[in-house]
């Protein structure tokens, strides 16, 4: 057995190969427990900070990339202890193998580190979001969502530049130095994307709306779900999920319906020509009194006869109520309509539509 273990294979003894394979198998099997042990140490640090109540979320996010980090490091250290399967005279072959192996290791390691940093960034954003939810101002909620995109963009941009420099030997400084000239060409090639980015900056600086607001632009109504670099996501009235470029929103006539101070009910009712002046005045006064005494009224009430035509005597009804959501507004409007029907019937008047139906019969 000893002779077999001392026998060489590819310039390494079988003892070395067995140790390498055994360590890799051990780490692969127990990587979850090893990474959990390391995570618990980080958990102790995070638990002492203001984000301690979310420390379990931190462990959940960091555990997976940490497992891959441990396995990758174990494989690298293990293979680094082996002898290369080349004679000392074959320096070119050894250099090529080293370049390929170390290049692959650096490539995977940079991606793995970027993954870990990205997960830590997500946790940081989650902590900010948790704090933002405790405040009444919705603006900080929108900033948190935007910050998440910025962190990811920075992390993966740095990762790509690191891969180009460390793995492929590209001079990163020359890329950065030439970014000014290349930026002009990119600006012409990606005008629409840049317009969307500037649109997002305009949205964040001018604050025409925040996440959760109901907006109306170009006849489209929807609730703001997310504001990103390129586009804004809306949930429309019919529950469709709409993605709108930021430049379209900025360049459109936009109304923030959530910031309205009141809900306006405006319509006309048609009464028959048989309605007397006394009846019209009594109906007008009672509808006016109903509007003025309503607990949800927050502005003026206008009731009056506006038109006399061959079809009906038309009476305008205009009442401003406190701003409520759509379902509550439907209930409020329904209450008003039923009250008007009762008032008209109470004073013995007839709606013009009812009279027309009676004449047809």
- Quick one: DSSP state of residue 53? G
Using alpha carbons, list the distances in angstroms from residue 350 to 152, 283, 290, 335, 360: 67, 11, 20, 20, 16
Distance, C-alpha 266 to centroid of its chain: 36
Domain 261-360: state its class.
Answer: alpha beta
What rounded mean pLDDT belongs to the chain? 78
Four-way CATH pick for 194-258: 3.40.190.10, 2.30.30.60, 3.90.650.10, 2.60.120.620? 2.30.30.60
Question: Domain boundaries in the chain?
Answer: 2-170, 194-258, 261-360
> What DSSP state is assigned to residue 351?
B
Handedness of CA 111, 113, 119, 121 (dihedral sign): negative
H-helix or E-strand spanning residue 142: helix 139-166
Which conformational region is residue 219 in: left (phi greater than 0), alpha (psi within -120 to 50 degrees), or beta? left
**pLDDT band for position 358 (cuts 50, 70, 90):** very low
Cα Rg, the chain, nearest whole Å: 36
Q: What is the pLDDT of residues 176-225, one digit of tens each?
A: 665 555 555 554 545 666 677 777 778 877 788 888 888 888 878 888 88
| Strand 231-236, strand 241-245: pairing | antiparallel
| Alpha carbons 39 and 63: distance in angstroms, whole number | 7
SS3 169: coil
Going by pLDDT thresholds of 50, 70 and 90, the confidence category of residue 167 is confident
pLDDT tens figures, 245-300: 888 888 888 888 888 888 889 999 999 998 999 999 999 999 999 999 999 998 88
Backbone angles phi, psi at 311, to 5 degrees: -85, -40
- Evaluate if pTM is beyond 0.75: no
- Count of beta carbons in the 10 Å neighbourhood of residue 351: 18
Average pLDDT over residues 59-65: 79
- Collapsing DSSP to helix, strand or coil, 229 comes out as coil
The answer to whether 217 and 254 have CB atoms below 8 angstroms apart is yes
d(CA 213, CA 205) in angstroms, rounded, equals: 16
Q: Which of 3-7, 172-176, 323-327, 340-344 has the highest mean pLDDT?
A: 340-344
Residue 318's alpha-carbon distances to 186, 304, 307, in angstroms, are: 55, 9, 15
Q: Which residues have a Cβ under 8 Å from the Cβ of 12 and sit 6 or more positions away?
A: 82, 83, 85
Can you tell me the distance from the alpha carbon of 68 to that of 33, in angstroms, rounded to the nearest whole number?
13
Whether 313 contacts 270, CB under 8 Å: yes
In which region does residue 184 sit, left (phi positive, over 0), alpha (psi from -120 to 50) or beta (all else)?
A: alpha
Q: By the 8 A CB rule, do 82 and 20 touch?
A: yes
Are the C-beta atoms of residues 287 and 303 closer than 8 Å to each other?
Answer: yes
- How far apart CA 211 and CA 233 sit, in angstroms, is 10
């Amino acid at each position: 057995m000893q002779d077999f273990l001392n026998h060489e294979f590819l310039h390494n003894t079988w003892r070395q190969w067995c140790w390498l394979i055994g360590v890799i198998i051990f780490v692969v099997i127990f990587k979850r427990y090893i990474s959990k042990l390391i995570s618990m140490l980080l958990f102790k640090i995070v638990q002492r900070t203001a984000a301690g109540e979310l420390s379990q979320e931190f462990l959940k996010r960091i555990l997976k990339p940490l497992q891959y980090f441990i396995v990758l490091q174990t494989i690298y250290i293990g293979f680094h202890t082996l002898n290369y399967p080349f004679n000392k005279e074959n320096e070119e072959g050894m250099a090529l193998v080293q370049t390929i192996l170390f290049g692959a290791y650096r490539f995977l390691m940079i991606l793995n580190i970027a993954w870990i940093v990205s997960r830590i960034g997500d946790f940081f954003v989650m902590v900010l979001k948790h704090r933002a939810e405790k405040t009444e101002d919705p603006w900080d909620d929108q900033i948190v969502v935007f910050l998440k995109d910025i962190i990811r963009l920075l992390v993966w941009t740095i990762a790509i530049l690191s891969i180009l420099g460390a793995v492929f030997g590209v001079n990163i400084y020359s890329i950065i130095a030439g970014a000014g000239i290349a930026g002009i060409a990119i600006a012409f090639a990606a005008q629409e994307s840049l317009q969307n980015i500037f649109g997002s900056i305009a949205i964040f600086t001018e604050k025409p709306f925040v996440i959760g607001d109901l907006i109306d632009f170009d006849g489209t109504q929807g609730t703001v779900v997310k504001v990103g670099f390129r586009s804004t996501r809306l949930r429309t009235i019919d529950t469709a999920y709409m993605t709108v470029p930021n430049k379209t929103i900025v360049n459109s006539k936009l109304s923030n319906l959530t910031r309205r101070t009141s809900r306006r009910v405006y319509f006309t009712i048609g009464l028959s020509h048989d309605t007397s002046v006394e009846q019209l005045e009594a109906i007008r006064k009672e509808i006016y009194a109903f509007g003025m005494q309503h607990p949800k009224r927050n502005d003026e009430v206008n009731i009056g006869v506006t038109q006399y035509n061959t079809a009906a005597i038309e009476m305008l009804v205009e009442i401003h109520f406190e701003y409520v959501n759509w379902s509550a507004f439907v209930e409020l409007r329904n209450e008003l309509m039923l009250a008007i029907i009762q008032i008209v019937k109470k004073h013995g008047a007839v709606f013009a539509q009812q009279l027309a139906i009676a004449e047809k019969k």
